[in-house]
Chains A and B, each alone.
Chain A
């Protein structure tokens, strides 16, 4: 995988001219429906190809709803499920798929009006995991312990009926950031080694967004909450600006870099 600086180089050398012509139409171009499509074809797709040739990109597709539900990260069943920017393929021989997702729940108020509340909006990543396991382990951001302190927080977490057993981890920093539920105390720790906990903390710090993880059926499911649709051309900011361009590159690099970051390509004997 290429480094951020290599990608930045690529962005400016290859895209700058394309972007200039794309943006030449002034404000009116944003009124044309094709702009988003053009933008994705001309910018996002080559950028992904540049990161890794084995990746394919489908702008109008997304991760299937059954995968989202199966992961059991969000228990509320979505009534509306949308998404775009679907990327799938192999990085270092590890199967990965991801997309933007927006899952919503329908509410009816007393006057019969319909409201929608967001269950999750952000990036959803599914990736092959390098260990065998049979149980389901879910890692969520720890909001309860931060609010109520560790004593009451722990008690509340261990009595959460919608989740399986609470797993207390032996890394204090990890415990502060996350809460772990699993139906197998030992397997949860088999998956979450000290090294992996350390890497997940590092990833969380780098992404600076709430991180939800589930381990199920030999796969890792990750949801990064951005609360906005990513990889869309913005009406108010030109992509010729360094900051905006860097944001695109960094988000892509971060998510696709997950395989290397978590060293999912280092397989154990039994999985070879």
Chain B
């Protein structure tokens, strides 16, 4: 075989490998995002029940509860982009967080079996969502690296691949829980 043919074959193999690795990275992002989506739905499903159980007692938090209901109905729309879902999740997490803190001010709620159960279910879904977010961020980072680094960036350009957004992980989530600090507050 002549040299130019060998060079061509090697080049073709390299191009195929690059192409496949880009496709694999894009699919990994989509695949993990669909898991994030499932978990977010699982959390949204808990919300009507939560709102119904706490709204009777909570008088000062009416506006947060309304926000939560509004966010949920927004999230149920079918034509949301990934970015919109990420934004909604961020708002939802902070709204739910403030409700959970507010529950502490109502002794009747703290003793309510149903609320307690909801609180624990939410905590668990929250832990799963947090794991899924981290997995998604890693997949997106790999993908973003691939479309910006040489040599795959040329091919990504041709394939019109764009950078994707990561979930912002709040500082509180990153921190290790320090009980001592909680008492000092």
Question: Which residues does A use to contact B, with CB under 8 Å?
Answer: 168, 170, 185-190, 193-195, 198, 268-270
Chain B residue numbers with a CB within 8 Å of A195 are: 176-177
A170 near B176: Cβ-Cβ < 8 Å: no
**Chain B 101-140 interface residues, beta-carbon cutoff 8 Å to A:** 117, 120-121, 123-124, 127-128, 130-132, 134-135, 137-139
Chain A residue numbers with a CB within 8 Å of B134 are: 170, 189
Tell me how many residues of B have a C-beta within 8 Å of chain A.
Answer: 23
Distance (Å) between the CB of B125 and the closest chain A CB? 11
Which of B117, B123, B127, B138 makes the CB contact (< 8 A) with A190? Answer: B127
Known contacts A186-B35, A269-B123: A168-B138 contact under CB 8 Å = yes
B176 near A194: Cβ-Cβ < 8 Å: yes
What CA separation (Å) do A187 and B121 show in the bound complex? 17
**Chain B 146-170 interface residues, beta-carbon cutoff 8 Å to A:** none
Chain A residue numbers with a CB within 8 Å of B123 are: 268-269
A186 near B131: Cβ-Cβ < 8 Å: yes
Which of A170, A189, A269 makes the CB contact (< 8 A) with B121? Answer: A269
Does B32 touch A at the CB level, under 8 Å? yes
What CA separation (Å) do A268 and B127 show in the bound complex? 10
A193 near B174: Cβ-Cβ < 8 Å: no
Chain B residue numbers with a CB within 8 Å of A198 are: 176
Chain B residue numbers with a CB within 8 Å of A187 are: 131
Interface of A is mostly: helix
What CA separation (Å) do A185 and B35 show in the bound complex? 10
Chain B residue numbers with a CB within 8 Å of A269 are: 117, 120-121, 123-124
Can you list 10 A-B contacts (CB < 8 A)? A168-B138, A168-B142, A170-B134, A185-B139, A186-B135, A189-B131, A189-B132, A193-B130, A195-B177, A268-B123
A186 near B137: Cβ-Cβ < 8 Å: no
Known contacts A170-B134, A170-B137, A170-B138: A190-B128 contact under CB 8 Å = yes
Chain A residue numbers with a CB within 8 Å of B35 are: 186
Distance (Å) between the CB of B124 and the closest chain A CB? 6
**Chain B 55-109 interface residues, beta-carbon cutoff 8 Å to A:** none
Counting from the closest, the 6 A-B pairs by CB-CB distance are A269-B120, A190-B131, A189-B131, A185-B135, A189-B134, A186-B135
Name the residue of chain A whose CB is nearest to the CB of B122: A269
What CA separation (Å) do A212 and B53 show in the bound complex? 46
B135 near A189: Cβ-Cβ < 8 Å: yes
Distance (Å) between the CB of A181 and the closest chain B CB? 14
Which of A168, A185, A194, A270 makes the CB contact (< 8 A) with B124? Answer: A270
What CA separation (Å) do A186 and B32 show in the bound complex? 8
What CA separation (Å) do A178 and B128 show in the bound complex? 22
Name the residue of chain B whose CB is nearest to the CB of A132: B124
What CA separation (Å) do A195 and B177 show in the bound complex? 7
Name the residue of chain B whose CB is nearest to the CB of A270: B124
Name the residue of chain A whose CB is nearest to the CB of B141: A168
**Chain B 171-185 interface residues, beta-carbon cutoff 8 Å to A:** 173-177
Name the residue of chain B whose CB is nearest to the CB of A195: B176
Chain A residue numbers with a CB within 8 Å of B128 are: 186, 190
**Chain B 1-58 interface residues, beta-carbon cutoff 8 Å to A:** 32, 35
What CA separation (Å) do A119 and B132 show in the bound complex? 35
Distance (Å) between the CB of B91 and the closest chain A CB? 22
Name the residue of chain B whose CB is nearest to the CB of A197: B176
B124 near A268: Cβ-Cβ < 8 Å: yes
